[in-house]
Amino acid sequence: MQRSILWVLIAFLAVSCNQTVNKEGDNQEASKTEQIISATIVELLAAPADYQDKEVAVSGMVTHVCKHGGQKCFIVADDGETQIRIVPGGDIDEFKVEMEGSTIAFKGTFRVQTAVLAEEQLEDYESKEHHEEEQSHSSAEKAEYFLEAVDFKEVTQ
Amino acid sequence: MSWRKLNRWIHRELGFLFFGMTIIYGISGIALNHSVARHWNPGLITKATSIQYPGTLQKADVDRATIEKILELTGEKENYKQYYFPNEDHLMIYLKGGHITVDLPTGSMQLTKIRNRPVFQELNYLHYNKPKKLWTWFSDLYALGLVLIAISGLFLIKGRKGITGRGGILTIIGILIPLALLIVYLWL
Protein backbone atom coordinates (compact mmCIF):
# COMPACT_ATOMS: atom_id res chain seq x y z
CA MET A 1 0.00 0.00 0.00
CA GLN A 2 2.85 2.37 0.90
CA ARG A 3 4.40 1.73 -2.49
CA SER A 4 1.19 2.59 -4.33
CA ILE A 5 0.76 5.86 -2.42
CA LEU A 6 4.36 6.71 -3.31
CA TRP A 7 3.55 6.17 -7.02
CA VAL A 8 0.56 8.46 -6.77
CA LEU A 9 2.71 11.19 -5.24
CA ILE A 10 5.47 10.76 -7.86
CA ALA A 11 2.92 11.00 -10.69
CA PHE A 12 1.40 14.10 -9.10
CA LEU A 13 4.76 15.85 -8.75
CA ALA A 14 5.79 14.95 -12.32
CA VAL A 15 2.65 16.58 -13.72
CA SER A 16 3.18 19.63 -11.50
CA CYS A 17 6.76 20.15 -12.77
CA ASN A 18 5.52 20.11 -16.35
CA GLN A 19 3.05 22.84 -15.47
CA THR A 20 5.85 25.11 -14.20
CA VAL A 21 7.51 24.98 -17.65
CA ASN A 22 4.24 26.04 -19.31
CA LYS A 23 3.90 28.96 -16.91
CA GLU A 24 7.30 30.30 -17.91
CA GLY A 25 6.18 30.24 -21.54
CA ASP A 26 3.04 32.19 -20.63
CA ASN A 27 5.09 34.83 -18.85
CA GLN A 28 7.22 35.35 -21.95
CA GLU A 29 4.07 35.82 -23.98
CA ALA A 30 2.71 38.34 -21.47
CA SER A 31 5.89 40.39 -21.55
CA LYS A 32 5.14 41.58 -25.11
CA THR A 33 4.65 45.30 -24.99
CA GLU A 34 1.60 46.85 -26.60
CA GLN A 35 0.44 50.40 -27.04
CA ILE A 36 -2.26 51.36 -24.56
CA ILE A 37 -4.64 54.25 -25.24
CA SER A 38 -5.86 56.21 -22.25
CA ALA A 39 -9.49 57.29 -22.60
CA THR A 40 -12.50 58.31 -20.54
CA ILE A 41 -15.72 56.29 -20.54
CA VAL A 42 -17.51 59.07 -22.42
CA GLU A 43 -14.78 59.16 -25.09
CA LEU A 44 -14.97 55.40 -25.56
CA LEU A 45 -18.71 55.36 -25.98
CA ALA A 46 -18.76 58.45 -28.20
CA ALA A 47 -16.53 56.85 -30.85
CA PRO A 48 -16.49 53.09 -30.23
CA ALA A 49 -15.19 52.26 -33.71
CA ASP A 50 -12.00 54.22 -32.98
CA TYR A 51 -11.21 52.03 -29.99
CA GLN A 52 -12.61 48.68 -31.10
CA ASP A 53 -10.30 45.78 -30.19
CA LYS A 54 -7.62 48.20 -29.00
CA GLU A 55 -5.84 48.16 -25.66
CA VAL A 56 -7.25 50.95 -23.55
CA ALA A 57 -6.90 52.25 -20.00
CA VAL A 58 -10.03 53.64 -18.39
CA SER A 59 -11.00 54.47 -14.84
CA GLY A 60 -14.12 55.18 -12.83
CA MET A 61 -15.98 54.39 -9.64
CA VAL A 62 -17.29 50.84 -9.49
CA THR A 63 -21.07 51.12 -9.08
CA HIS A 64 -21.91 47.42 -9.12
CA VAL A 65 -20.23 44.03 -9.07
CA CYS A 66 -22.20 40.96 -10.11
CA LYS A 67 -22.79 39.01 -6.89
CA HIS A 68 -23.09 35.69 -8.70
CA GLY A 69 -19.49 34.90 -9.50
CA GLY A 70 -18.14 38.43 -10.05
CA GLN A 71 -18.08 38.00 -13.81
CA LYS A 72 -18.88 41.62 -14.56
CA CYS A 73 -18.73 45.01 -12.94
CA PHE A 74 -19.69 48.55 -13.95
CA ILE A 75 -17.87 51.83 -13.64
CA VAL A 76 -19.42 55.27 -13.89
CA ALA A 77 -17.98 58.26 -15.73
CA ASP A 78 -17.33 61.66 -14.13
CA ASP A 79 -20.75 62.81 -15.38
CA GLY A 80 -22.25 60.41 -12.81
CA GLU A 81 -24.46 58.77 -15.42
CA THR A 82 -22.57 57.05 -18.23
CA GLN A 83 -21.52 53.55 -17.30
CA ILE A 84 -19.54 50.82 -18.99
CA ARG A 85 -19.49 47.10 -18.39
CA ILE A 86 -16.19 45.47 -17.50
CA VAL A 87 -15.67 41.73 -17.82
CA PRO A 88 -12.69 39.77 -16.51
CA GLY A 89 -10.05 38.65 -18.99
CA GLY A 90 -6.46 37.44 -18.87
CA ASP A 91 -5.54 36.21 -15.40
CA ILE A 92 -8.49 37.91 -13.71
CA ASP A 93 -10.90 35.24 -12.46
CA GLU A 94 -13.56 37.50 -10.98
CA PHE A 95 -14.28 40.93 -9.56
CA LYS A 96 -14.77 41.15 -5.81
CA VAL A 97 -17.80 42.85 -4.30
CA GLU A 98 -15.37 44.87 -2.15
CA MET A 99 -14.56 46.88 -5.30
CA GLU A 100 -17.94 48.64 -5.16
CA GLY A 101 -17.52 52.31 -4.35
CA SER A 102 -13.81 52.32 -5.17
CA THR A 103 -12.28 54.18 -8.08
CA ILE A 104 -10.47 51.63 -10.20
CA ALA A 105 -8.20 52.03 -13.23
CA PHE A 106 -8.73 49.16 -15.67
CA LYS A 107 -6.51 48.09 -18.54
CA GLY A 108 -7.90 45.85 -21.24
CA THR A 109 -9.38 45.48 -24.70
CA PHE A 110 -12.38 47.53 -25.74
CA ARG A 111 -14.86 45.21 -27.42
CA VAL A 112 -17.77 45.98 -29.66
CA GLN A 113 -19.95 42.92 -29.73
CA THR A 114 -20.66 40.87 -32.79
CA ALA A 115 -24.01 39.15 -33.22
CA VAL A 116 -22.58 35.92 -31.77
CA LEU A 117 -21.09 37.70 -28.76
CA ALA A 118 -24.26 39.68 -28.20
CA GLU A 119 -26.27 36.47 -28.05
CA GLU A 120 -23.84 34.93 -25.56
CA GLN A 121 -23.97 38.05 -23.43
CA LEU A 122 -27.74 38.08 -23.46
CA GLU A 123 -27.76 34.49 -22.19
CA ASP A 124 -25.32 35.53 -19.48
CA TYR A 125 -27.48 38.52 -18.58
CA GLU A 126 -30.52 36.31 -18.21
CA SER A 127 -28.92 33.43 -16.40
CA LYS A 128 -26.36 34.96 -14.06
CA GLU A 129 -27.88 38.08 -12.65
CA HIS A 130 -31.23 39.42 -13.52
CA HIS A 131 -32.67 42.30 -11.57
CA GLU A 132 -36.42 42.59 -11.21
CA GLU A 133 -36.24 46.38 -11.48
CA GLU A 134 -34.29 48.49 -13.91
CA GLN A 135 -30.92 49.42 -12.40
CA SER A 136 -28.66 52.37 -13.15
CA HIS A 137 -26.24 49.93 -14.80
CA SER A 138 -28.94 48.08 -16.77
CA SER A 139 -28.28 49.87 -20.05
CA ALA A 140 -24.53 49.23 -19.71
CA GLU A 141 -25.34 45.60 -18.93
CA LYS A 142 -27.19 45.16 -22.20
CA ALA A 143 -24.94 47.47 -24.24
CA GLU A 144 -22.94 46.17 -27.15
CA TYR A 145 -19.75 47.77 -25.80
CA PHE A 146 -17.64 46.49 -22.95
CA LEU A 147 -14.09 46.31 -21.71
CA GLU A 148 -12.35 42.98 -21.33
CA ALA A 149 -9.99 43.81 -18.49
CA VAL A 150 -6.63 42.12 -18.09
CA ASP A 151 -5.42 44.26 -15.21
CA PHE A 152 -6.80 46.72 -12.70
CA LYS A 153 -5.59 48.86 -9.87
CA GLU A 154 -7.40 50.83 -7.20
CA VAL A 155 -6.85 54.56 -7.55
CA THR A 156 -8.63 55.78 -4.44
CA GLN A 157 -11.06 54.45 -1.90
CA MET B 1 -4.10 -11.49 -5.93
CA SER B 2 -7.54 -12.29 -7.46
CA TRP B 3 -9.28 -9.54 -9.42
CA ARG B 4 -11.99 -9.26 -6.73
CA LYS B 5 -9.38 -8.71 -4.04
CA LEU B 6 -7.68 -6.09 -6.20
CA ASN B 7 -11.07 -4.46 -6.87
CA ARG B 8 -11.85 -4.23 -3.15
CA TRP B 9 -8.37 -2.86 -2.51
CA ILE B 10 -8.81 -0.10 -5.14
CA HIS B 11 -12.24 0.83 -3.80
CA ARG B 12 -11.10 0.96 -0.16
CA GLU B 13 -7.79 2.79 -0.67
CA LEU B 14 -9.16 5.40 -3.08
CA GLY B 15 -12.17 5.84 -0.80
CA PHE B 16 -9.91 6.73 2.09
CA LEU B 17 -7.57 8.88 -0.01
CA PHE B 18 -10.35 10.96 -1.54
CA PHE B 19 -12.68 11.22 1.46
CA GLY B 20 -11.78 14.90 2.01
CA MET B 21 -12.17 15.76 -1.66
CA THR B 22 -15.61 14.12 -1.80
CA ILE B 23 -16.77 16.22 1.16
CA ILE B 24 -15.38 19.41 -0.46
CA TYR B 25 -17.06 18.78 -3.82
CA GLY B 26 -20.26 17.42 -2.26
CA ILE B 27 -20.93 20.40 0.02
CA SER B 28 -19.83 23.05 -2.47
CA GLY B 29 -21.83 21.23 -5.17
CA ILE B 30 -25.05 21.73 -3.20
CA ALA B 31 -24.12 25.38 -2.59
CA LEU B 32 -23.40 26.01 -6.28
CA ASN B 33 -26.59 24.24 -7.35
CA HIS B 34 -28.63 26.67 -5.28
CA SER B 35 -26.48 29.61 -6.33
CA VAL B 36 -27.27 28.91 -9.99
CA ALA B 37 -30.95 28.43 -9.08
CA ARG B 38 -30.78 31.81 -7.27
CA HIS B 39 -32.07 30.51 -3.95
CA TRP B 40 -29.13 32.07 -2.15
CA ASN B 41 -25.59 33.33 -2.59
CA PRO B 42 -23.16 30.82 -1.06
CA GLY B 43 -20.23 33.23 -1.20
CA LEU B 44 -21.79 36.22 0.58
CA ILE B 45 -23.90 37.01 3.61
CA THR B 46 -26.10 40.08 3.14
CA LYS B 47 -27.95 41.81 5.96
CA ALA B 48 -30.28 44.74 5.31
CA THR B 49 -31.54 47.21 7.93
CA SER B 50 -34.11 49.97 7.37
CA ILE B 51 -33.49 53.40 8.91
CA GLN B 52 -35.48 56.61 8.44
CA TYR B 53 -33.82 59.92 7.59
CA PRO B 54 -35.44 62.80 9.51
CA GLY B 55 -37.27 64.46 6.63
CA THR B 56 -37.04 64.12 2.88
CA LEU B 57 -34.24 64.98 0.46
CA GLN B 58 -33.66 66.26 -3.05
CA LYS B 59 -30.69 65.43 -5.25
CA ALA B 60 -29.66 69.08 -5.53
CA ASP B 61 -29.60 69.50 -1.74
CA VAL B 62 -27.33 66.56 -1.00
CA ASP B 63 -23.87 67.71 0.01
CA ARG B 64 -21.04 66.50 2.21
CA ALA B 65 -22.96 67.54 5.36
CA THR B 66 -25.94 65.40 4.29
CA ILE B 67 -23.66 62.44 3.73
CA GLU B 68 -22.05 62.99 7.15
CA LYS B 69 -25.49 63.07 8.78
CA ILE B 70 -26.56 59.84 7.06
CA LEU B 71 -23.32 58.15 8.08
CA GLU B 72 -23.85 59.26 11.66
CA LEU B 73 -27.45 57.97 11.67
CA THR B 74 -26.36 54.59 10.35
CA GLY B 75 -23.19 54.39 12.47
CA GLU B 76 -21.03 53.92 9.39
CA LYS B 77 -18.82 57.01 9.54
CA GLU B 78 -15.64 54.94 9.70
CA ASN B 79 -16.56 52.86 6.65
CA TYR B 80 -17.39 55.62 4.12
CA LYS B 81 -15.95 55.28 0.61
CA GLN B 82 -17.84 57.33 -2.02
CA TYR B 83 -21.36 58.22 -3.11
CA TYR B 84 -23.30 58.70 -6.34
CA PHE B 85 -26.83 59.06 -7.63
CA PRO B 86 -28.10 56.01 -9.55
CA ASN B 87 -31.07 58.18 -10.61
CA GLU B 88 -32.91 61.36 -9.60
CA ASP B 89 -34.67 59.71 -6.65
CA HIS B 90 -31.91 57.61 -5.17
CA LEU B 91 -28.58 58.15 -3.43
CA MET B 92 -26.09 55.34 -3.02
CA ILE B 93 -23.40 55.64 -0.38
CA TYR B 94 -20.67 53.02 -0.64
CA LEU B 95 -19.10 51.66 2.50
CA LYS B 96 -16.34 49.24 3.32
CA GLY B 97 -18.42 46.06 3.59
CA GLY B 98 -21.70 47.34 2.20
CA HIS B 99 -23.72 50.33 1.08
CA ILE B 100 -26.58 52.65 2.05
CA THR B 101 -29.40 53.22 -0.41
CA VAL B 102 -31.45 56.35 0.24
CA ASP B 103 -34.85 56.92 -1.30
CA LEU B 104 -34.68 60.72 -1.50
CA PRO B 105 -38.41 61.62 -1.77
CA THR B 106 -39.34 59.54 1.31
CA GLY B 107 -36.09 59.67 3.29
CA SER B 108 -36.17 55.92 3.80
CA MET B 109 -32.71 54.41 3.98
CA GLN B 110 -31.53 50.84 3.67
CA LEU B 111 -28.20 49.87 5.14
CA THR B 112 -26.89 46.71 3.50
CA LYS B 113 -23.92 44.98 5.07
CA ILE B 114 -22.13 42.40 2.96
CA ARG B 115 -19.50 39.97 4.18
CA ASN B 116 -17.94 36.80 2.91
CA ARG B 117 -19.61 33.59 4.02
CA PRO B 118 -17.01 31.53 5.86
CA VAL B 119 -16.30 27.93 4.79
CA PHE B 120 -18.51 28.08 1.68
CA GLN B 121 -16.38 30.80 0.16
CA GLU B 122 -13.28 28.64 0.56
CA LEU B 123 -15.03 25.50 -0.70
CA ASN B 124 -16.35 27.33 -3.76
CA TYR B 125 -12.88 28.71 -4.39
CA LEU B 126 -11.70 25.13 -4.75
CA HIS B 127 -14.79 23.85 -6.61
CA TYR B 128 -14.48 26.56 -9.28
CA ASN B 129 -10.76 25.72 -9.61
CA LYS B 130 -9.75 29.29 -8.82
CA PRO B 131 -6.29 28.27 -7.52
CA LYS B 132 -5.49 26.50 -10.85
CA LYS B 133 -1.86 25.25 -10.77
CA LEU B 134 -1.45 22.17 -8.55
CA TRP B 135 -5.13 22.12 -7.65
CA THR B 136 -6.05 21.35 -11.29
CA TRP B 137 -3.94 18.23 -11.25
CA PHE B 138 -5.02 17.04 -7.83
CA SER B 139 -8.71 17.56 -8.62
CA ASP B 140 -8.22 15.76 -11.97
CA LEU B 141 -6.66 12.91 -10.06
CA TYR B 142 -9.66 12.96 -7.73
CA ALA B 143 -12.11 12.88 -10.67
CA LEU B 144 -10.29 9.88 -12.10
CA GLY B 145 -10.29 8.28 -8.65
CA LEU B 146 -14.03 8.87 -8.38
CA VAL B 147 -14.60 6.99 -11.65
CA LEU B 148 -12.50 4.10 -10.35
CA ILE B 149 -14.36 4.13 -7.01
CA ALA B 150 -17.69 4.01 -8.88
CA ILE B 151 -16.67 1.16 -11.21
CA SER B 152 -15.01 -0.89 -8.48
CA GLY B 153 -18.07 -0.32 -6.28
CA LEU B 154 -20.23 -2.19 -8.79
CA PHE B 155 -18.30 -5.41 -8.22
CA LEU B 156 -17.80 -5.36 -4.45
CA ILE B 157 -20.53 -7.88 -3.66
CA LYS B 158 -21.44 -11.08 -5.44
CA GLY B 159 -24.88 -12.65 -5.72
CA ARG B 160 -28.40 -11.42 -5.00
CA LYS B 161 -27.36 -8.02 -3.63
CA GLY B 162 -24.63 -7.48 -6.23
CA ILE B 163 -24.56 -6.12 -9.77
CA THR B 164 -26.42 -9.17 -11.08
CA GLY B 165 -29.27 -8.62 -8.60
CA ARG B 166 -30.62 -5.67 -6.62
CA GLY B 167 -27.39 -3.72 -7.14
CA GLY B 168 -27.87 -3.89 -10.89
CA ILE B 169 -31.44 -2.55 -10.63
CA LEU B 170 -30.31 0.36 -8.45
CA THR B 171 -27.49 1.10 -10.90
CA ILE B 172 -29.94 1.24 -13.81
CA ILE B 173 -32.31 3.51 -11.83
CA GLY B 174 -29.37 5.83 -11.03
CA ILE B 175 -28.53 6.08 -14.73
CA LEU B 176 -32.14 6.47 -15.90
CA ILE B 177 -33.02 9.37 -13.56
CA PRO B 178 -30.47 11.87 -14.94
CA LEU B 179 -31.13 10.59 -18.47
CA ALA B 180 -34.88 11.13 -18.11
CA LEU B 181 -34.40 14.63 -16.67
CA LEU B 182 -31.99 15.46 -19.48
CA ILE B 183 -34.54 14.37 -22.08
CA VAL B 184 -37.33 16.36 -20.38
CA TYR B 185 -35.35 19.57 -19.84
CA LEU B 186 -33.10 19.61 -22.90
CA TRP B 187 -34.95 17.94 -25.72
CA LEU B 188 -38.69 18.05 -24.99
Provide the pLDDT confidence category of residue A123 given band limits of 50, 70 and 90: low
Summarised one tens digit per residue, pLDDT across range B100-146 is 999 999 999 999 999 988 898 899 889 988 888 899 999 999 999 99
**B75 and B89 inside one domain:** yes
| A41 and A13 in a common domain | no
**Residue A31's pLDDT is what?**
47
Q: Which of A4, A12, A136 sits opposite B138 (nearest CB)?
A: A12
A83 shares its domain with A142: yes
Q: Are A102 and A118 part of one and the same domain? A: yes
For residue range A1-43, what is the model confidence (pLDDT) as tens digits? 555 554 555 554 444 444 444 444 444 444 445 578 899 999 9
Average pLDDT of span A87-111: 93
Same domain, A22 and A43: no
Task: Give the span between the Cα atoms of A118 and A142, in whole angstroms.
Answer: 9
Domain final residue pick, B63, B82, B116: B116
Contact A1 B13 (CB under 8 A): yes
Looking at B79, B97, B116, the residue that finishes a domain is B116
> Both A20 and A49 in a single domain?
no
- A&B contacts, CB < 8 Å: 57
Q: Are residues B130 and B111 in the same domain?
A: no
Both B123 and B176 in one domain: the answer is yes
**Nearest alpha-carbon partner for A77 in A14, A137, A9:** A137
Reported ipTM: the value is 0.71
Q: Which domain holds residue B167?
A: 3-39+119-187
Q: What is the structure's pLDDT at A133? A: 59
Task: Give me the residue from A67, A80, A102 closest to B85, CB to CB.
Answer: A80
Q: Is residue B101 domain-shared with residue B70, that is, in the same domain?
A: yes
Among chain A, residues having any CB pair with chain B shorter than 8 Å are 1, 4-5, 8, 11-12, 15-16, 19, 61, 63, 67-68, 76, 80, 93-94, 97-98, 100-103, 127, 135-136, 157
Does A43 lie in the same domain as A11? no
Query: Residue A76 and residue B84: Cβ atoms within 8 Å?
Result: yes
Same-domain check for residues B137 and B182:
yes
Domains identified in chain B, total number: 2
Which residues are within 8 A (CB) of B177 and not within 5 positions of it... i.e. 6 or more apart? none
Check whether residue B10 and residue B65 sit in a common domain.
Answer: no
Q: What is the CATH number of the domain that holds A82?
A: 2.40.50.140
Is residue B135 domain-shared with residue B169, that is, in the same domain?
A: yes
Give the other-Cβ count within 10 Å of A86's Cβ: 26
Domain of residue A78, residue span: 37-156
Q: What is the mean pLDDT of residues A96-116?
A: 90
Residue type, B126: L
A118 and A46 part of one domain: yes
* HEC readout, B27-84: HHHHHHHHHHCCCCCCCEEEEEEEEECCCCCCHHHCCHHHHHHHHHHHCCHHHEEEEE
Mean pLDDT of B65-77: 96
The total of structural domains in chain A comes to 2
Assess whether pLDDT exceeds 50 at residue A120: yes
Q: How much is the pLDDT for A35?
A: 79
